[in-house]
Amino acid sequence: MIDYFYLGIYKLFAILLRIFPDNIVRMMMKGLAKTAYGLSAKHRTIIDKNLELAFVSSLSKSQKQNIGIAAFMNLIDTVFGIVKRDGLAKAEVIKKVSFEGEENIKQYQAEGKKFILVTGHFGNWELLSQAIAIKFDMTLVGVGRQLDSKIMDALLKKNREQFNVEMVYKKGAMKGCIKAINEGKTVGILTDQAIRKNQSIEVDFFGKKATHTPLASILSRKFDLDLIPAYISTEDYEHYTVKIYEPIKSIKTDNQEEDLAILTQQQADIMESVIKKYPKQWFWMHKRWK
């Protein structure tokens, strides 16, 4: 019964988001973000702690607050975007998305070479996957958690697949990714997902030790696939920029442990540099340092 309640809320939001002008929707988003930040003491504490770990004492209280509200704003924008894009033509999805560094992907496509896309919970990450899949006419396979609601999970699956984005669940992710690669699809991995310490690789992140998923590194080494980092950002929640970075070259020596450590640290380094440049775009609610 609860599944149909969620479905009803989704349908209602879909109607409202199509009725209201975009500027009104953005005002709603801002109000919701401020409210969520104000009411969620738990997440405020996590955000403040993460910002202190990342930037030590260089941020004022108001700066931390603005970044915290922006983190909620990005989450709301990501969720609202999923609903708003449902049923849109592919050209409409990327109408207000600009791309920087697209040659980094086009070169691989021209040479018939596959790669692994790496990103994080940054900006509107759902739009990132759809925009890249559409722009470069590829099937992108991501890794994520299955929703508790089967109806909503199926709805989200359908929503993504209309834009050439497929998903494999965290449980069995390695098997699913290997299958996707063997089928000629492009695997995309959010490298800042929560992960158990015994399943992770330790990296230096903002000068502190942090756990990092080794999945992209393992696949890179196994299949000799380079890693291409890509992140999305926005300043007005209307126009978006996808920046595609230079590839991280695959490594395979006789020392597997060292290879994976180097590849994983390189991913963390790029993410850190992007976060430093656009701190308001990252999902600071994650317990990134455990």
Three-state SS string over the chain comes to: CHHHHHHHHHHHHHHHHHHCCHHHHHHHHHHHHHHHHHHCHHHHHHHHHHHHHHHCCCCCHHHHHHHHHHHHHHHHHHHHHHHHHCCCCHHHHCCCEEEECCHHHHHHHHCCCCEEEEECCECCHHHHHHHHHHHCCCCEEEEECCCCCHHHHHHHHHHHHCCCEEEEECCCHHHHHHHHHHCCCEEEEECCCCCCHHHCEEEEECCEEEEECCHHHHHHHHHCCEEEEEEEEECCCCCEEEEECCCECCCCCCCHHHHHHHHHHHHHHHHHHHHHHCHHHECCCCCCCC
Contact between residue 177 and residue 225 where contact means Cβ atoms under 8 Å apart: no
Q: Which two tokens stand for residue 109?
A: 């496509």
Q: Identify the bridge partners of residue 168 per DSSP, sorted by sequence position.
A: 143
Single-letter residue type at 90: K
Single-letter residue type at 40: S
Residue boundaries of the structural domains of the chain: 2-281
Could you read off the pLDDT tens digit of each residue along the chain, which spans 290 residues? 677 787 888 888 888 888 999 999 999 999 999 999 999 999 999 999 999 999 988 899 999 999 999 999 999 999 999 999 999 999 999 999 999 999 999 999 999 999 999 999 999 999 999 999 999 999 999 998 888 888 888 889 999 999 999 999 988 899 999 999 999 999 999 999 767 777 889 999 999 999 999 999 999 999 999 999 999 999 999 999 999 999 999 999 999 999 999 999 999 999 999 999 999 999 999 888 87
CA 36/CA 205 separation, integer angstroms = 27
- 174 phi-psi bin (left φ>0, alpha ψ -120 to 50, beta other): alpha
- pLDDT, residue 171, reads 84
Residue pointed to by tokens 């409202």: 16
